[in-house]
Chain A
Amino acid sequence: MIRAIDVHKRFGDNHVLKGITLEVAKADVMCIIGPSGSGKSTFLRCINQLEATDDGAIWVGDELLGHEVRDGRLHQLTDRRIARQRRPVGMVFQRFNLFPHMTALENIVEGPIKVLKESPQEARGRGLELLGRVGLADKAGAYPATLSGGQQQRVAIARALAMNPQLMLFDEPTSALDPELVGEVLGVMRDLALSGMTMIVVTHELGFAREVANQIVFMDDGRVVETGTPADVLTHPKNERTQAFLSAVLA
């Protein structure tokens, strides 16, 4: 489903990703953990082309991201084609990024109507259904400013799902939430995983990772240090950097 080969990213002199190679199968849930500054969010943003890679390649399905191969070279795609490549990939941000001038339902139907050209009635029907699925059926007409952080993040998840994605990316979805609101968002994500959605989650919630993920990736300093099942990486880490990180987090 996703295949990344030797992905590099630099911001000026700062070499943020130093060759990431990963694979995610359909219906897999991969959790990426690691200290801040390790490049986990940047890697996620490369998958949705919010950042362009400097070297290496990423495929979503059969689609090579950002470039096409012609006469033995990689040619950069137009903005329009990149926008099209983003459609099957949903993204949920740390700071929600709901559109503040639209109600919850308007946030959700914006993409289906404007990008997928669905009819407004159809989009609204499915939008309401999605709001019900994230437990906010009564908040269709509410503006983001009137919702709690947890509610906003659940609307953001519904907004991403409205595009019928094949893959969902979560960039520290609970890090900006008050502790008592984390559970409701993780609950929605757990249901989503159980429904067979392919997910890549950058998170500090090790309990969630242990329970829901079937693959854990530990990143540090722009590299993948260790990968494996939750039991391997979280319970019996082999690398000493993983061990140090886990003991610091669990302390």
Chain B
Amino acid sequence: MPQVQSRHGPSVLEKTDIAHLPRFARRHYGRYVAAVAVLAALAMIVSSFANAQIEWEVVRQYLTTEAILHGVLNTIVMAVLAMLVGVLLGVLFAVMRMSKNPVTRGVAFLYAWIFRGTPQLLQLFLWFNLALIFPYFVLPGLIEARTVDLMTPFVAALLGLGICQGAYTSEVVRGGLLSVDQGQTEAAQAIGMTRTQTLRRIVLPQAMRVILPPIGNEFISMVKLTSLASAIQYQEVLHSAQNIYYANNRVMELLFVATFWYLIVVTILSIGQSLVERRFSRGHRPASSTKPSMIRRLVSRGGQA
């Protein structure tokens, strides 16, 4: 390599030589240290669990007992139904909140204020004990029944979780509706669409792209929120686990069983979420440049493709 004498040092490389010298990436020593620390911590946790008074055989055994599986099913059913109620109410109240009519705006505001302002567990208790205020539930000609008979744990949990969810979802939906350019509404009106058509065909589908990621999050947190319903005797997975450990005293083992199932359900939901988001981002990325995500590739390998 040619070297040149210079006043500033014994030798200096020519600039053209410097341009093509071999390159070395910076070393991230901190990362190695962090990785070692994390591994050590994990090892400690794993070993304490392994050596604790936990019989893994019991965990394995209860993982698929009928009571637990039934609880898992009830958890999923409740999460899906409560979320459905939540999204329907959320869209309804978001639209009401943005209405020109001051009465509907006021009602929507009141709804969000009450149901976002009180603890969810408290709301569940209120629904469950509604019979104390309204002893009879009467729709003339249709239903006439004692509220105690109607307000089963299932119904109380569905109302409590769904209506409260609707209050949060309405804010998410409102944000989504506001994110759609005003020009879209004008263009829809210009081709003679009514307000409802404009909302359903033009504004909502575009708002979905903004609404879906937070709704996905809320769905996932709904799966976990259903555990609150165990407090009003709804037979979801945590309630089933509790019932079993009250009898056999294997507290940790059964809590692990419940943990396992929550993680499974949430993982499946996360995968579903990313597929749904893809569907609603149509037109926002040229189709040719979208790289299929890892999840998509895994799914299509196992599924349709």
Contact = CB atoms under 8 A, between A and B. Distances in A.
Nearest to B183: A97
B289 to A, nearest CB: 10
A73 interface: no
A110 B201 CA distance: 9
Interface of A: 48, 50, 79-80, 83-84, 86-87, 89-91, 93, 95, 97-103, 110-111, 114-116, 143-146, 156, 159-160, 162-163
A86 B190 contact: yes
A134 B193 CA distance: 24
A100 B283 contact: yes
B101 to A, nearest CB: 12
Given A99-B184, A99-B202, A159 B191 contact: yes
Given A99-B187, A115-B197, A87 B192 contact: yes
Contacts of B188: 99
A115 B206 CA distance: 20
A86 B195 CA distance: 13
Given A97-B183, A110-B201, A115-B197, A83 B192 contact: yes
Contacts of A160: 190-191
Given A50-B189, A95-B183, A110-B201, 16 more contacts: A86-B192, A97-B186, A99-B187, A99-B206, A100-B206, A100-B284, A103-B283, A111-B191, A111-B193, A115-B191, A143-B282, A144-B283, A145-B283, A145-B284, A160-B191, A163-B191
Nearest to B200: A114
Contacts of A100: 206, 283-284
A50 B191 contact: no
Given A100-B283, A102-B283, A143-B283, A50 B195 contact: no
Nearest to B186: A50
A144 B190 CA distance: 18
Contacts of B194: 79-80, 83
Interface SS of chain B:
helix
Contacts of B195: 79, 83
Nearest to B198: A83
B195 to A, nearest CB: 6
Q: Give the one of A98, A110, A159, A160 with max B CB within 10 A.
A: A110
A162 to B, nearest CB: 8
A90 B191 CA distance: 7
Interface string B195-209: 101000110011000
A111 B192 contact: yes
A234 B17 CA distance: 66
A101 B282 contact: yes
Contacts of B181: 97
- What 7 A-B pairs are tightest by C-beta distance, nearest first? A111-B191, A97-B187, A87-B192, A143-B283, A91-B190, A97-B183, A115-B192
B231 to A, nearest CB: 43
A89 B190 CA distance: 8
B203 to A, nearest CB: 10
A99 B184 CA distance: 7
Contacts of A144: 283
Contact of A98 (B187, B189, B205, B286): B187
B204 to A, nearest CB: 10
Contacts of A103: 283
7 contacts: A80-B194, A93-B186, A95-B183, A99-B188, A101-B205, A156-B187, A159-B191
B27 interface: no
Nearest to B208: A101
A162 B191 CA distance: 9
B183 A115 contact: no
Given A80-B194, A86-B192, A115-B193, A97 B184 contact: yes
Contact of B286 (A91, A114, A146, A163): A146
A98 to B, nearest CB: 7
Given A93-B186, A97-B183, A99-B184, A145 B286 contact: yes
Contact of A93 (B183, B206, B286): B183
B31 interface: no
A93 B184 CA distance: 10
A103 B280 CA distance: 14
B286 to A, nearest CB: 5
Interface in B123-159: none
B190 to A, nearest CB: 4
A120 to B, nearest CB: 14
A91 B188 CA distance: 10
A103 B283 CA distance: 8
B97 to A, nearest CB: 18
A24 B40 CA distance: 83
B291 interface: no
Contacts of B283: 100-103, 143-145
A50 to B, nearest CB: 5
Interface in B244-292: 280, 282-287
A152 to B, nearest CB: 12
Contact of A114 (B184, B186, B197, B280): B197
Contacts of B189: 48, 50, 83, 86
